[in-house]
Amino acid sequence: MFDLFKKHTDKSQQDVKTLRDVLLRFIKAELQKTEGGEGSYIKGVNLFIAANGNKKHIYEAAIYTEEPGRFKNEIQKIADDYALDLPANWTLEISFDDAIPPEALKSKELDVALFIRTKDHVITKTGSAYINILNGEAEQQQYHVTSDSGKINIGREAKAQVADGSFRANQIAFPGDSKNPSNKFISRQHAHIEWNKEDGSFMLYADEGGIPPGNKTKVKTIKDEYLVKLNSTKIGHRLAEGDQIIIGDSVAMEFSLQAKTG
């Protein structure tokens, strides 16, 4: 682990510069690994920082917190120097989190991790799919979603009051008064599905109520029979034919591009 924090109790310009240099080298190395060094299909970078106290202050200075856009420009300079060819509209999102999402690429030297979002070469501009309820009791047995549906919320009750006092509409709703025991383990703001026009795909994201230590959001992929756990609200899962979405304890839904009949 990066040890300059052990040597100094006060933030100094040298500490900040050294940290920034190590951080930028880490980002450069990971960007070079993506797409074999070609960055034209990178659409964004998520930087997660797990630091608090004096460490957090040094990281904040290192990424130019008070100068929005400057750290992204530093990354862009590196991309230009190494011919990574990042697209003009790539984005940078920086989050300070106590826990780094397991899906992200962790640095061996720093309290940081990186998640690089990419897009496919061939993009479908519109889409249509069906969400079939396999277990649990929803208001409908089958939901039709399209690229024009916007954000499709999943949760307990069609209209639910959340932690900040506001109300949320759940388009895929599981009644709280259902006798089906599986419904008890669904949060009011559990997850959502939305169309990603850049990727041409439907993405599943866990919401605040659907990540640990509360209830859970998982996907059982049919293609390789792998269980994907969504432990962050920032990193979604690209849904594919036959994927089973598991929320709470045992509610299960199937994602399909074809309507289920009979």
pLDDT digits (tens, 9 = 90+) for 46-70: 999 998 878 899 999 999 999 999 9
Q: What is the pLDDT of residue 9?
A: 44
Contact 111, 62 (CB under 8 A): no
Higher pLDDT, 241 or 33: 241
Which token pair is 186? 């669904």
Q: How far apart are the first and last CA of the chain?
A: 58
Instruction: Please indicate, yes or no, whether residues 198 and 237 belong to a single structural domain of this protein.
Output: yes
Predicted TM-score of the model (pTM): 0.60
The domain spanning residue 152 has which CATH number?
A: 2.60.200.20
Q: Looking at the structure, do residues 194 and 212 belong to the same domain, yes or no?
A: yes
Residues 105 and 156 in one domain: no
63 versus 122: which is more confidently predicted? 63
> Where among 77, 94, 118 does a domain terminate?
118
Residue 97 near residue 52 (C-beta atoms within 8 A): no
Vertex 91: Cα angle to 219 and 214 (nearest 5) = 35
15 plus 62 within the same structural domain: yes
Confidence of residue 179 (pLDDT cuts 50, 70, 90): very high
In this structure, are 102 and 215 located in the same domain? Answer: no
pLDDT at 12: 56
d(CA 189, CA 157): 10
Domain containing 160 equals 128-256
Same structural domain, 64 and 173: no
